[in-house]
Structure 1
Amino acid sequence: MTKLLLYKIKRFFHLIKTGLLRGFLAELQYGFPARKLKIIAITGTDGKTSSSTLLYYILKTAGKKVALVTTVAAYIGDEEIDTGFHVTTPDAGDVQRFLAKMAELGIEYVVLETTSHGLYQHRLWGVYPKIAGYTNITHEHLDYHVTYQEYVAAKALLAKRAEKIVLNADDSNSFRELKKQLSGREDDILSYSRSERLPTSVSKAIQDRFPQLYNQMNARLVYTIAKQLQVSDQDFAKGLKEFPGVPGRMQHVGKVKNIQVIIDFAHTPNALESALTAVRKKMKQEKSKGRLIAVFGCAGLRDIQKRPMMGRIGAELADFAIFTAEDPRTEDVWSIIRQMKSDLGKNHQKVASIADRQEAIDFAIQTYAKSGDVVGIFGKGHEKSMSYGKVEYPWSDLTAAQEALLALDPKKE
């Protein structure tokens, strides 16, 4: 009860510190830029960046003047701006600065990836989206939001200020909870689901581009939003076909000695399960007899409830799992790993623990993997740093995996 009360009180202080002293003053300074733009905001636990980037690409394909702000980067005109080390909505002042630059360039549409922290902390002061889209809301950030209901309530703050809301009807918990939060606004709610019949050309385009079910659902969300923005099915299918993907999302690193390596940002129980299931499905389709090896960890000073869940999922769905560091911050890596191993049951023999992430990746690729195996490195994706103590050190899963592959066969470039 005390934690929940403090959580609610803290939001009032964010209203003053972030909303009024940063957001409102920046909004005033830049001349209320959000009012000159049509903003489409996308939130959820998993799939925010992928969905936002896909929508941005499809709107560009349809000839619309559009900008994008995600937790990876902001794309404004021809400029790419790094938005920070880790996943969160930019500071309220930065949001207004980005929007002002977009308005100055004559951009019409803005696709804005939105996090629960950003909403709770009033970082989106003055932003009232034309459309708010939701991917899913699963177990995550309970270290911060205290309960699932408060987590949903934070996400619902976006919908409450949007003209139209697009919900995932297949994500039953969030669908039900969000509809409760939006009582009286039934006419403003649209939904999408796996069972919804789409035009044949659109359905085929989605399945051809994305073999993974979770990415197909992201594409269905984007399609629902795109139709509200008068994007033709032809432009949608064309944009989908040409979509280059998002760095660190099911990214193929390389194949050496018939050992394939991928990296993915999956850092929640739901995302890890979806990613491992997708890789396994692809291996079966390719009639692979190899093993699936997973390398991942859990972040320090973050939701501890998910640690045994992540460990159990990895051990169940992979043939072998290596638990390692993932932004331990001021926590002890081995303490985090012990929590990840606390619910393995009979699968404890399928797990190894290597605290150093580079050593874990090297072991997976160079020592444990054999011809035909797939090594999946999860949790960091596109990120360019690793947090130890209170310091951000340069780090890249992509570079680490590439170096491990190169050492396996120095002749490969």
Structure 2
Amino acid sequence: MMISFRELLQALPDVIAIHGDTQITAPIVESSLDVQPGGVFVARKGLTSDGHDYILQAIQAGAAAIVGERPISTLSVPYAQVADAQSAIGRLAAMYYGLPSRQLVVIGVTGTDGKTTTSTLIHSILKVATDGKAGYISTISADLGDATEDTGLHVTTPGAPRVQYFLAKMLQNGLTHCVLEMTSHGLAQGRLSGVDIDVAVITNLTHEHLDYHGTFENYRAAKGIMFEMLRKSYRKPNINKTSVVNMDDPNASYYAAFPADQLIQYGFDTSADVRCLHADYRPDGTYLTVQLPDSRMETCVLNLVGAFNVSNALAAISVGFSLGVDFDSIRQGLRAVKAIPGRMERIDEGQDFTAIVDFAHTPNALKNALEAARTMLPDGKRLIAVFGSAGLRDVEKRRMMAQTSAQLADITVLTAEDPRTEPLDDILQMMAEGCLSQGGVEGETFVRVPDRGEALYRACQMAQPGDIVIACGKGHEQSMCFGTIEYPWDDREAMRAALRGTPLMTLPTAQ
């Protein structure tokens, strides 16, 4: 691809000064290590470093032009000063790739919990409706039509240049629709700038990421950026701008107030536009009766368990309805999703109890997962929960999650979950205090086992026929962080090892 530097800058609303021009023949990047000869390096100030300090390094690597926030006129390559380099990255990347999202129907999905499941359900529905011409960018992977790519070790939206590259690849592969999972970090950090969306979906909003956003109001506002994007996005022929809001969530009115051509509210609430009239939880699936905005009643089957997944399905149905998808395709798309990696995923090694791995890493998600597990539990059997809480993240949720487990699980095993540079013993102490506050007795109703492999093994050794062991917090993730090092880790493999009778001992805590 080739575009002039000055033509590229037309994507930005806040250019202060431009020095020189050249042809850009390689992608826009935000790390000097990613510079390709002929590309553009965008220098921005981060939390721990400042990209302006790496401008000369980027030029030495072959950058044809630089964009930054400082007034600079002495570089050997063209330079543009902008007011906001962070939001410029996505816009410049979009322009370089030919504004791909303007030629796709884009559905943005955000929320504290349920983003990946909801996105997966929407993607499945749209694949049926479009004969396979629907793509997907999630915190797990990206479906580009001709290939699937991983999107990172931990859950967050990919960087802005990569998002635009994925969208361009989808368009190149003949796709017409894209489901794009949007995290609060991704929205707040401008990684989704330059994406023109058509449907904005919010699943719910609960306690999470306050270490980054500071207050719940800031966190709520970060999610609201997606609805602002919807209002400002490029208008595509015959596509309404639609907000899809969970009416059962206490913050529904906040998001419903954002302007849109169409508002669809879903939930169990009697005034919801897409409403669950009845949910029958059976061993072979969840059978739903749903009322649509046009008052039709339809039935469908969901392979996923739990009331929270009914809510996720209602969001997906709402999106399908808003885009004019016939209900047979919606029904088929929902049924096609058999399981989602690391989401209430059963691990079977022939044991006489149930073992589950789930990604629940917030108080609300843990509550949902444990409540769903209890509905699967035979009378007189026990629920054994294994989880931790991340270091250098929201401190308050450590106590809250432990309290939740103390209330809902029969036995709680507290263990490591990405302690990073915090002392693991300090994290476990805070969680133990949460269990104690709910009447927990250490050594009886809860234990601390610092090594996660050993914790899963201990839980499986405790389990009796008919019990359920559920490991929460890591799900599909492929690493765990101790200090500043990411160690290979997969809860599903660790659970399999535990079920076979040997703890997985690959973490620094292993004895």
TM-score by length of 2: 0.73
Percent identical: 41
1:124 alignment counterpart: 192
- Return the offset for 1:236: 1.2
C-alpha contact 2:111 2:183 (8 A) present in aligned 1: yes
Matching residue's letter, 1:259: F
After superposition, where does 1:8-407 map in structure 2 within 5 Å? 16-20=84-88, 22-64=89-131, 65-162=133-230, 163-172=241-250, 174-180=251-257, 182=258, 185=259, 188-195=262-269, 196=275, 197=277, 198-199=290-291, 204-206=299-301, 208-254=302-348, 256-283=350-377, 287-344=378-435, 345=437, 346-349=439-442, 350-366=445-461, 368-407=462-501
Could you tell me whether the CA contact under 8 Å between 2:341 and 2:476 is conserved in 1?
yes
Give the direction of change, closer, same or farther, for the CA distance of 1:203–1:390 in structure 2 (3 Å limit).
farther
Query: 1:348 aligns to what SS in structure 2?
Result: coil
The structure with more helix, counted as a fraction of residues: 1
Structure 2 CA distance for aligned equivalents of residues 168 and 15 of structure 1: 36
CA distance in 2, matches of 1:340, 1:202: 45
**Is the CA contact 1:315–1:348 (under 8 Å) kept in the aligned structure 2?**
no
Deviation for aligned residue 1:25: 2.4
Distance in 1 between residues matched to 2:493 and 2:330, nearest whole Å: 33
By how many angstroms is 1:24 displaced? 2.5
| Cα distance change, pair 186–38 in 1 and its aligned pair in 2 (3 A) | closer
Larger radius of gyration: 2
C-alpha distance in 2, partners of 1:178/1:326?
A: 32
1:6-65 deviation line (CA, Å, top 9, x unaligned) = 99xx9x989733321x22221222111111111001000000000001110111122341
Q: How many residues get paired?
A: 391
Question: 1:176 offset after TM fit, Å?
Answer: 2.8
Q: CA deviation at 1:204?
A: 3.7
Partner secondary structure for residue 421 of structure 2? coil
* Deviation readout 1:362-395 (Å, 9 max, x if unpaired): 11112x1122211000000000000111111100
Question: What is the rounded CA distance, in whole Å, between the counterparts of 1:227 and 1:187 in structure 2?
Answer: 14
Q: Please give the alpha-carbon distance, in whole angstroms, between the structure 1 residues aligned to 2:202 and 2:91.
A: 26
Q: What letter is aligned with 2:113?
A: D
- Taking the aligned partners of 1:15 and 1:275, their CA distance within structure 2 comes to 44
- CA distance in 1: counterparts of 2:135 and 2:83, whole angstroms: 27
Q: Residue by residue, what CA displacement relative to the aligned partner does 1:299-353 show, whole Å, maximum 9, x if unpaired?
A: 1111101110000001110000000000111111111111112233212341100
d(CA) in 2 for partners of 1:150 and 1:15? 22
Retained in 1: the 8 A contact 2:304–2:338? no
Q: 1:328 to 1:170 in 2, by over 3 A?
A: same
Give me the whole-angstrom Cα distance separating, in 2, the residues matched to 1:348 and 1:164.
50
Partners of 1:54 and 1:268 lie apart in 2 by 21
The residue type equivalent to 1:308 in the other structure is: R
Gap regions ≥5 residues in structure 1: 1-5, 409-413
CA contact (8 A) 2:243 2:256 kept: no
CA, structure 1 residues 281+334, in 2 after alignment: closer, same or farther (shift >3 Å)? same
Aligned partners of 1:360, 1:15: CA distance in 2, in Å? 50
Instruction: State the alpha-carbon separation in 1 of the partners of residues 440 and 347 from structure 2.
Output: 28
Q: Residue 29 of structure 2 aligns with which residue?
A: none
Work out the CA distance in 1 between the residues paired with 2:192 and 2:266. Answer: 26
CA–CA distance in structure 2, aligned partners of residues 351 and 308 of structure 1: 14
Q: CA deviation at 1:121?
A: 0.5
Partners of 2:388 and 2:170 lie apart in 1 by: 38
User: How many angstroms does 1:189 deviate by?
Assistant: 2.2
**Equivalent in the alignment of 2:72:** none
The whole-number CA distance in structure 2 between the counterparts of 1:102 and 1:332 is 44
Change (3 A) 1:25 1:353: same
What is the CA-CA distance between 1:78 and the residue it aligns to?
A: 2.8
Q: What amino acid is the match of 1:356? A: D
- The TM-score, its normalising length taken from structure 1, stands at 0.90
Q: Secondary structure at the match of 2:440?
A: helix
Answer whether contact 2:242 2:260 (CA < 8 A) is retained: no
SS at match of 1:158: helix
Say which SS state the counterpart of residue 112 (structure 1) adopts.
strand
Query: Any gaps of 5 or more consecutive residues in structure 2?
Result: 1-45, 51-67, 70-81, 231-240, 270-274, 278-289, 503-511
Match of 2:283 in 1: none
Tell me how far apart the structure 1 counterparts of residues 297 and 424 of structure 2 sit (CA, whole Å): 46
Deviation sequence 1:68-102 (CA, Å, 0-9, x none): 00000001113110000001110011011111111
More RCO (CA 8 Å, sep 6+): 1
Rounded Cα–Cα distance in structure 1 between residues aligned with 2:263 and 2:220 = 16
Single out whichever of 287-296 and 131-140 deviates more from structure 2: 287-296
Cα distance in structure 1, aligned partners of 2:83 and 2:406: 43
Q: Which residue of 2 aligns with 1:3?
A: none
CA distance in 1: counterparts of 2:299 and 2:380, whole angstroms: 29
> What secondary structure does 1:254 align onto?
coil
Q: Which amino acid aligns with 1:48?
A: K
Q: Higher mean Cα deviation, 95-104 or 292-301? A: 95-104
Alignment-mate amino acid for residue 167 of structure 1: V
